[in-house]
Amino acid sequence: MNPIYASRRRFDIVIRALCVGAALFGVTWLALILFTLFYNGLTGINFAVFYQDTPPPGATEGGLRNAIVGSIIMTVIGVGIGAPLGLFAGTYLAEYGKHDRLTSVIRFINDILLSAPLDHHRPVRLWRHRGADGRLLGPGRLPGAGGDRHSRGGAHHRGHAGAGAQSLA
């Protein structure tokens, strides 16, 4: 066996063992915390926790109604503000802000925010697509995927490569 390969293999085994050990260490503490939480916490769960107000300092009984209602109110307010604002911003970007400098900044930030959820589109990015002007767009520059800023959604959103795609193979 090649000595460089053997050295790298030993190093790989050591690093993998350290990673497994670190993971087991963390998961062990997590399991202990969750066990303690459930063991001590399940005895205090009853319906009164959900419909009684938060107790004043020094009281022994009370509930979480204020926290639950407050969370619901904040969620409704956030959706009530965010949904129309997002809808109006998207409409503006699609209809009026095609070549504006602010539009490119907003689309760049949007691409960053959407980069993690769109990872399931990675295999499709290996295709080459033709743009609106007929030129080939390289890998990773699908229409609507952030690579071609003037498009409004490509075939990758529909789950197939589309008619304008050519395989790189």
Residues 54-112: pLDDT tens digits?
888 888 788 889 999 999 999 999 999 999 998 998 888 888 887 788 888 888 888 88
pTM for the whole thing? 0.45
What separation in angstroms does the CA of 55 have from each of 40, 63, 69, 95? Answer: 20, 7, 15, 53
**Confidence grade of residue 148 (pLDDT, cut at 50, 70, 90):** very low
Round to whole Å and give the CA distance between 21 and 15: 10
- Report whether pLDDT(2) > 50: yes
- Segment 41-46 mean pLDDT: 82
Q: Which residue has the tokens 């926790």?
A: 49
- Report whether pLDDT(152) > 70: no
- Report whether pLDDT(7) > 60: yes
The pLDDT assigned to 150 comes to 47
Beta strands per DSSP E along 74-123: none
Domain layout of the chain by residue ranges: 1-45, 46-96, 104-162
The pLDDT assigned to 137 comes to 56
Q: To the nearest 10°, the Cα dihedral for 59, 65, 68, 70?
A: -90
The mean pLDDT of the chain is: 77
